[in-house]
Structure 1
Amino acid sequence: MDILEGKKVLTKDGQLHNVSHLLKSKKIIIYYFSASWVQTSVLTEKLKYIYEENLKRNLGMEIIYVSSDTDEKIFRHDYIEHHGAWAAIPFKGIIADELRWMYDITCLPQLVVVKKDGEIITRRGKEELEKLGINVLVTWTDYIQ
């Protein structure tokens, strides 16, 4: 994906990794736009569940957390303590702002689901996940067949 080309993401181990390596075998990216101060525990738990199912079924999805936090210490604590095993856009840099602008994120939380090439599958990922639950995996992966 062009916007992430040459960029690094943060993983739960606190290390930065090349996005190209993380997304090498992935077909779908789920951008999870939120912040520590947003009530997202139910949404995050649903995401953890579909993320684990995605890994078990080898569906080729990756979640990337895009935080709107303004304090790095709070961001890191929230990411490490409350999120699943997915990656996050690092606190420093402008990539999070670019992604929010690119996908017209005006409220939190939001899920934007895209193909690896950047084609948007849905901007209503949160609503679809709430409505369909685990079946959202089938809905989103139908776009890559």
Structure 2
Amino acid sequence: MKDAEDSVPSVNTAKYLDEKVNIETLVGKHILTKDGQVISVCRHFKAKKILIYFFSAAWAPAIDVIARLKSLYVENLNRNTRMEIIFVSSDTDESTFNQYFAEQGPWCAIPFRSAICDELRWMYGITCLPQIIVIRTDGTVITRKGKDELESLGNNVIVCWAEYIQQ
């Protein structure tokens, strides 16, 4: 049996602030919008302060995570915290990718079969799905436990993540 400490995810993200991942992976690249447009990453994220990478695939159960992310997305807009969610797919079939992406919130995705997906999975050590990695736009990792923190704090996780914008 797990004790109480094991069941409550840690939200102390300060230990990650010294860890920086090269954000250049996205520079000069493109993302897919919900309406099917392919646009420049730099243009779309110019005013953003925090990026939330949502690593998932249609075959990985994430219905509850998607529901929480949708709610977080709305809360983000209401608070103007300048966060953006990016879906990073591990799907191997384009029609499955398109269907799964359509079921998600109004955020963007790395295009299907883009090499960027593999680079991001490697950079962040993604070995199981779904996962959420939260970073500042300068590449500083805020947390690698975004999914656990979102589950434990709900939309209040915005407060924890947003406090690292100014650091």
* The one of 122, 128, 135 aligned to 1:107: 128
- Give the aligned partner of residue 139 of structure 1: 160
Whether 1:97 and 2:118 are equivalent positions in the alignment is yes
- Give the aligned partner of residue 68 of structure 1: 90
Percent identical across equivalent pairs?
56
Point out where structure 1 has 5 or more consecutive residues left out of the alignment. Answer: none
Whether 1:51 and 2:58 are equivalent positions in the alignment is no
SS at match of 1:107: coil
**How far, CA to CA, are the matches of 1:55 and 1:10 in structure 2?**
20
The residue identity in structure 2 corresponding to 1:141 is A
CA drift at 1:126: 0.3
* Bigger CA radius of gyration: 2
- Give the aligned partner of residue 10 of structure 2: none
- Give the aligned partner of residue 32 of structure 2: 10
| Superposed CA offset, 1:24-68 (max 9, x none) | 100000000000111111110000001111012110100000000
Q: What is the total number of aligned residue pairs between the two structures?
A: 144
| Superposed CA offset, 1:71-119 (max 9, x none) | 0111011101x10000000003210000000000000000000000110
SS at match of 2:53: strand
Point out where structure 2 has 5 or more consecutive residues left out of the alignment. Answer: 1-22
State the 4+ residue runs in structure 1 displaced beyond 3 angstroms: none
- Give the aligned partner of residue 36 of structure 1: 58
Normalising by structure 1, we get a TM-score of 0.97
**How far, CA to CA, are the matches of 2:110 and 2:130 in structure 1?**
15
Normalising by structure 2, we get a TM-score of 0.85
SS at match of 1:17: strand
